[in-house]
Structure 1
């Protein structure tokens, strides 16, 4: 779901109309390493009078090539739109900052006034962001309206850009912000929230799948109140819990122009959904779409949400799929929508997880309590660290308050990682991470083993060698422990894995995350080629043509696995999109 949202958003940016003033090399797959490789492109740029948009996405550009292109851009003062997403594939991270610096300096030299800067789908990390920091703080970005990228450094640069542009009498009017699948987590979200609150002109915010928990969600909620023209708020696949959802519901009471709310896969839970329903009854008069899918919402709260949209004249779609309504609850929800003459506005309920058991309710409350304890512990530790540091240090600058963390993050334990997994938390477990995770996972419980496998898999990054290796080592350790345990139910493990991936339909199943399948395929491919999993047999189970490329995936399974299970995996994975 979140992956589809990000893809659609990127495509939306790509379709920005600039008439005949655009020069496009979009998606040509060019490998541009040196000056010679960009001769034709440079000539085209130089000869293009009134160039307003340059599309370089879908190519791979080296340092020398970027420097050569930059020289041609130094005279293009009319340039307004730079669509530069996905243009460093296969490049070393060390190459990216100088390449971006060259291009950014050229825009500054040219005196360009940008409206669109899209650098999404460039996995260049904090160092790469530093390559555009100078550009973002320059007058070239004072007119920026659409921005795709991430991180705390970017938040600091946006803040400086806004203040400097305001001093010149033309404040930054950023309207669209997109940062999907960037693992901003709470620190990044909080830093950006401060920038958003200052800017105040946002109309669309898209931050799906960023590992943000309720502290970050609460910070964003506060910031949204200061953006009265906000129309679209997409925080799909983050972890609100009831605290974050209630904070966001309160913030939405201050907004009148919101048309689309996407809090799917956000665990808003029943109390959070009820709070959102209350906000809907009181305000949001022109709301068109509401997505609260896969949020562990029960029947009573779901019915509250349904009734709250009754008098929204422009309302078009309500998504409550994947919650905990049960068959009777789903039917009651349909009846309520039908009585309001809004049956056609209700989305599918095919993935409903059934009524929660009492243990599930207790577990939900425990999870929220754990969240509270984690925050209190973090606050106490921060206070202790501040006392130890003393009062002798002065603030260096307003920029450093954003870009430099006040103290080093504490080392997470395994339970923290498994509760809210992220690449950073996995790496910070240290060299013994695989052993620590192996000891933590109770392989006597098949469901817990599957859940641990999927949570570790969820932080897998194909383009980050360190994270990739850490994920593979950790999974190898867990599965070795499991399959070498005589009492471990291997067949049950495989069946549960298929169920939690949503590949097998079971009445009481709990799907892990809809966006995980592609990541799992990539992980299994690397797992096969990188590790010798116990005394295992390499089995090729999937070979499929997918548009422009062949995906050939393998998995290592113990010899005890039956051919029936392997055939089942093959059959279901052939249905992957």
Structure 2
């Protein structure tokens, strides 16, 4: 590090102060600490701090050698309790991070400190990072742990199981020592835990019984994992916050979750947004909440393909919730009539002011309950007005109510996964015909691509395949008509419509979630027709930090892997 760099670090550290709660903070200083010399002034600050119960290191980057000398200073603080170490390894190799964590963890144990908070969120260390935490998490220094925050670490199933083993051993040893682990807050969103990881952690949650807040959004968990978590939550009677958003409950998982809700009367926040609970699941959940749950403040069931009957049931069952401050039913399938019905219900029970906006409603599908979700081959056999006495047209003993024929125009007006499937095997051709001559216009083709890809999720491969086929044919047609000379226009338009670049149309509102577009784009950029220069531009922009891209990290990672391969 040059003398000017060292001077800059010194200036930053000069502004560091210990607050009244004995917290030493280097948060957001952007320090690049590669070696012992780089960390010298920071070490001095830690050593000179007489009482340091908390250390904030967020927004810096720590190398192995720097971590070793910082750890030595940390050994002198047995009073240490709170490690706020999120976003602390930017640009570091995956082999460096476990070593750095081992040094820091060993220091905490050597000091005899009892951790209360450990926050390592937004460090993309994967399962390797957990290796560096194993000794610490199993030790007596974690018997006192109340908050464990591991959000956006890329743990995967392997990391999730390793974490489970550590917490299990810690809990068992703490009980033997007469100091049982009473973890209150567990945060592990965007970690690709999937069913195996979630099910493993559920076993720990059940054993603990002390959780008050659990946040596990965007982990690829479906009904099986949700059911395991629900059963574990039933043993945590003091649970206040439950955030499982952007996983895939389906109505089966939602109904199993509903069974345990009556046991959780301390709930204040329930976030099941974008979980595909669907109408039957929403009704089951709302009935489970109807009579009790007086402490409930927020209920989020947005983006769940709930129709007006389901949404109305939810609204009606909120009548006695005196502390409710927000009900979110946006991005469902209410239609204009359903929106008015829900608003009317909320007004009647005196809670219209707490109803979140319904501006992104996807429109009514004219279906009721789960019976609207029919398989494509069955749907093709249904003729409007036909007698429903054919056993082949019955699902699980229930007759399927004939749906009106879904058209490409219907889908483009209010896109939904089921409408895409109901278009049948000729869906791509139907969408091209609906576009007409506009299919030759890159901007209009990209706009259509966004609508098609908006219904795609990480978990549903059937929807993804259908969307990729449709979007592929539409983008290919537009590229063929414009050739290489419009490669810049193509990539720019895609980036603008995803919200990564600002466009000239100030009225355009980018989507809040671009997971679907990124997943479909990953398929499209592999095709021979896609311009090389467009790939290069997408790679350049998608590799940079951006809130929308960061919130869809798994999909962006897949896209970048493909782009780097070309």
Normalised to the residue count of structure 2, the TM-score between the two structures is 0.68
Deviation at 1:313, TM superposition (A): 1.5
Q: Which runs of 5+ in 1 are unaligned?
A: 1-16, 370-418, 420-439, 460-474, 504-510, 554-577
Contact between 2:23 and 2:52, CA under 8 Å: does it hold in 1? yes
Tell me the equivalent position of 2:103: 102
Task: Verify the 8 A CA contact 1:446 1:489 in the aligned structure 2.
Answer: no
- 2:171 is aligned to 162
Q: Aligned-pair distance for 1:187?
A: 1.1
| 8 Å Cα contact 1:458-1:519 kept in structure 2 | no
Q: Residues 280 and 370 of structure 2 are in contact (CA less than 8 Å); yes or no, is this contact kept in structure 1?
A: no
Counterparts in 2 of 1:43 and 1:115: CA distance versus 1, 3 Å: same
Alignment of 1:213-252 (within 5 A): 213-252=222-261
Q: Report the Cα distance in structure 1 between the residues aligned to 2:250 and 2:236, rounded to whole angstroms.
A: 24
CA distance in 2, matches of 1:513, 1:247: 31
| Separation of aligned partners in 1, 2:295 and 2:164 | 30
Residues 54, 80 of structure 2: 8 Å contact kept: yes
Corresponding residue of 1:35 = 36
Relative to structure 2, which stretch is displaced further, 150-159 or 330-339? 150-159
Deviations 1:300-327 (A, max 9, x none): 1111111111011112111111111110
Q: CA deviation at 1:365?
A: 5.0
Q: Write the distance in 2 (CA, Å) between the matches of 1:168 and 1:262.
A: 36
**What does residue 341 of structure 1 align with?**
350
2:326, 2:354 within 8 Å by CA — same for their partners in 1?
Answer: yes
How many angstroms does 1:346 deviate by?
1.1
**Matched residue pairs, number?**
439
> Cα distance, 1:282 vs. partner?
3.0
Deviations 1:350-405 (A, max 9, x none): 111111155996673559x9xxxxxxxxxxxxxxxxxxxxxxxxxxxxxxxxxxxx
Distance in 1 between the 2:497 and 2:337 partners?
Answer: 23
Conserved in 1, the CA contact under 8 Å of 2:279 and 2:369?
Answer: no
Q: 1:303 to 1:33 in 2, by over 3 A?
A: same
Which is worse superposed, 477-486 or 229-238? Answer: 477-486
Q: Is the 8 A contact 2:84 2:118 kept in 1?
A: yes
Give the Cα separation in 2 of the matches to 1:487 and 1:86.
40
Query: What SS does the corresponding residue of 2:200 show, helix, strand or coil?
Result: helix
What do residues 399-426 of structure 1 show as CA deviations (whole Å, max 9, x unaligned)?
Answer: xxxxxxxxxxxxxxxxxxxx9xxxxxxx
Residue 271 (1) aligns with residue 267 (2): no
Q: Flag the 1:278–1:20 CA change in 2: closer, same or farther, 3 A.
A: closer
| 136 and 538 in structure 1: CA distance in 2 versus 1, 3 angstrom threshold | closer
Whole-angstrom CA distance in 1 between matches of 2:241 and 2:306: 22
1:534 to 530, 534, 542: 530
Tell me: CA distance 1:446–1:83, structure 2 relative to 1, closer, same or farther (3 Å).
farther
1:190 Cα deviation (Å)?
Answer: 0.8
Structure 2: gaps spanning 5 or more residues: 1-17, 379-416, 418-424, 433-447, 460-466, 501-508, 550-566
Would the alpha carbon gap of residues 328 and 357 (structure 1) be closer, same or farther in structure 2, given more than 3 Å must change?
closer
Equivalent residue, structure 1, for 2:512: 514
SS at match of 1:270: helix
Local SS of the residue matching 2:95: helix
Q: Post-superposition shift, 1:172?
A: 0.6
> CA-atom RMSD, angstroms?
4.4
8 Å contact kept, 1:146–1:175: yes
Kindly report which structure 2 residues correspond to 1:66-465, keeping only aligned pairs within 5 A, or say none.
66-149=67-150, 151-357=160-366, 364-366=373-375, 444=429
- CA distance in 2 between counterparts of 1:18 and 1:142 reads 26
Q: Distance in 2 between matches of 1:326 and 1:247?
A: 28
Q: CA separation of 1:105/1:535 partners in 2, compared to 1, >3 Å: closer, same or farther? A: closer
**Aligned residues of 1:442 and 1:449 also touching (Cα < 8 A):** no
Instruction: Flag the 1:359–1:175 CA change in 2: closer, same or farther, 3 A.
Output: closer
Cα separation, 1, equivalents of 2:44 and 2:93 = 27
Using the alignment, how far apart are the partners of 1:141 and 1:540 within structure 2? Answer: 47
Contact 2:106-2:136 at 8 Å conserved across structures:
yes
TM-score, normalised relative to structure 1 = 0.67
Deviation at 1:154, TM superposition (A): 1.0
CA distance in 2, matches of 1:219, 1:99: 34
Cα deviation digits, residues 188-237 of structure 1 (max 9, x gap): 11111111111110001111111111111111100100100000101111
**Is the Cα–Cα contact under 8 Å of residues 476 and 533 in structure 1 kept in the other structure?**
no
Q: Secondary structure at the match of 2:214?
A: strand
CA contact (8 A) 2:479 2:529 kept: no
Point out which structure has higher relative CO (alpha carbons under 8 A, 6+ apart): 1
Deviations 1:91-117 (A, max 9, x none): 110111111111101111110100000
CA distance in 2, matches of 1:213, 1:222: 14
1:441·1:478 contact (CA, 8 Å) conserved in 2?
Answer: no
Q: Name the residue aligned to 1:19.
A: 20
- Measure, in 1, the Cα distance between the counterparts of 2:510 and 2:458: 10
**1: CA distance, partners of 2:90 / 2:213:** 28
Cα 1:248–1:86 shift into 2, 3 Å = same
d(CA) in 1 for partners of 2:122 and 2:243? 18
Structure exhibiting the larger radius of gyration computed from Cα positions:
2
Task: Please report how far the alpha carbon of residue 76 of structure 1 lies from its aligned counterpart in structure 2 after TM superposition.
Answer: 1.1
Distance, in Å, in 1 between the alignment partners of 2:169 and 2:279 is 40
